[in-house]
Structure 1
Amino acid sequence: MSNPLPFAVLGAGHGGQALAGYLALRGFPVRLFNRTPERLRPIQLLGGIQVEGEVSGFAPIPVATSDIREAIAGVQVIMVVLPATGHRDIAERLSPYLEDGQIIVLNPGRTGGALEVRQVLRETSCTKDVLIAEAQTFLFASRISGPAQVRIFRVKNSIPVAALPAYETVRVVQTLRVALPQFIPEDSVLKTSFNNIGAVFHPTITILNAARIESTHGEFDYYIEGVTPSVALVLEEVDKERVKVAEALGVRAITAREWLYSAYDVSGRNLFEAIQNNAGYQGIRAPSTIFHRYITEDVPTSLVPIASLGKMLGVPTPTIDSLIHLASVLHGRDYWKEGRTAEKLGLQGLSVKEIHELVVTGGK
Structure 2
Amino acid sequence: MGSIAVIGAGNVGQAVAGHMTLRGHDVRLYSPWPSEFEPIDARGGIELTGDAEGTALPALLTTELDKAVDSVDVIVVAAPAFAHRTLARELAEVVEAEQLVLYQPSALGSGLELARSFAQMNRTPCLIAETATSLYTCRLQGPAQVFLGRIKPSVRFASTPYGAVNDVQQRLSRYFDDRFIPDADALTVGLSRIGAVYHVPPALFNLKSVEDGARLPHNTLATPRISELIDALDQERVNLASRLGVAAITFEEFMTRSYGVTEGTLPERIQKSYGPLNFPEPDSVKHRYFTEDIPFSMVVWSSLAKQIGLPMPLTDSVIKISSVLCGQDWYANARTVEELGLVGANAEEIKSAFLTGRRS
Could you tell me the TM-score, scaled by structure 2's length?
0.92
Change (3 A) 1:41 1:294: same
The DSSP-based 3-state class of the residue aligned with 2:219 is: coil
Pick aligned residue for 1:143 from 139, 143, 159:
139
Q: Where does the alignment leave 5 or more consecutive residues of structure 1 unmatched?
A: none
CA deviation string 1:187-222 (max 9, x = no partner): 11111111111121111221111123224x234332
Determine if contact 1:79/1:105 at 8 Å carries over to the other structure: yes
The DSSP-based 3-state class of the residue aligned with 1:94 is: helix
Deviates more, 1:203-212 or 1:262-271: 262-271
Change (3 A) 1:265 1:335: same
Q: Distance in 1 between matches of 2:58 and 2:254?
A: 36
Q: CA deviation at 1:164?
A: 1.1
Q: Confirm whether residue 157 of structure 1 aligns to residue 125 of structure 2.
A: no
Pick aligned residue for 2:163 from 163, 167, 178:
167
Q: Distance in 2 between matches of 1:208 and 1:146?
A: 29
* Residue in 2 that maps onto 1:353: 348
The DSSP-based 3-state class of the residue aligned with 1:315 is: coil
Deviates more, 1:151-160 or 1:171-180: 151-160
Q: Confirm whether residue 71 of structure 1 aligns to residue 63 of structure 2.
A: no
Determine if contact 2:186/2:355 at 8 Å carries over to the other structure: no
- RMSD of the TM alignment (CA)? 2.1
Determine if contact 1:219/1:285 at 8 Å carries over to the other structure: yes
Q: Distance in 1 between matches of 2:217 and 2:45?
A: 35
Determine if contact 1:10/1:81 at 8 Å carries over to the other structure: yes
**For this pair of structures, how many residues does the alignment match?**
357
The DSSP-based 3-state class of the residue aligned with 2:338 is: coil
Change (3 A) 1:187 1:294: same
Q: Where does the alignment leave 5 or more consecutive residues of structure 2 unmatched?
A: none
Could you tell me the TM-score, scaled by structure 1's length?
0.91
* Residue in 2 that maps onto 1:338: 333
Q: Distance in 1 between matches of 2:176 and 2:86?
A: 26
Pick aligned residue for 2:293 from 295, 298, 309:
298
CA deviation string 1:258-288 (max 9, x = no partner): 3233333435675345435x26425443222
Q: CA deviation at 1:237?
A: 1.6
Pick aligned residue for 1:317 from 312, 316, 321:
312
1:321 aligned partner, one-letter code: D
Q: Distance in 2 between matches of 1:240 and 1:142?
A: 27
* Residue in 1 that maps onto 2:172: 176
Deviates more, 1:202-211 or 1:227-236: 227-236
Q: Distance in 2 between matches of 1:232 and 1:291?
A: 23
Identity among equivalent positions (%) equals 36
Determine if contact 1:44/1:64 at 8 Å carries over to the other structure: no
Pick aligned residue for 1:28 from 25, 31, 49:
25
* Residue in 2 that maps onto 1:308: 303
CA deviation string 1:41-76 (max 9, x = no partner): 343566643333322223232211000111111112
Q: Distance in 1 between matches of 2:253 and 2:149?
A: 24
The DSSP-based 3-state class of the residue aligned with 2:181 is: strand
Q: Distance in 2 between matches of 1:272 and 1:147?
A: 33
Change (3 A) 1:279 1:321: closer
Q: CA deviation at 1:97?
A: 1.4
Determine if contact 2:14/2:146 at 8 Å carries over to the other structure: yes
Change (3 A) 1:35 1:241: same
* Residue in 2 that maps onto 1:275: 270
Q: Distance in 2 between matches of 1:244 and 1:44?
A: 48
Change (3 A) 1:18 1:266: closer
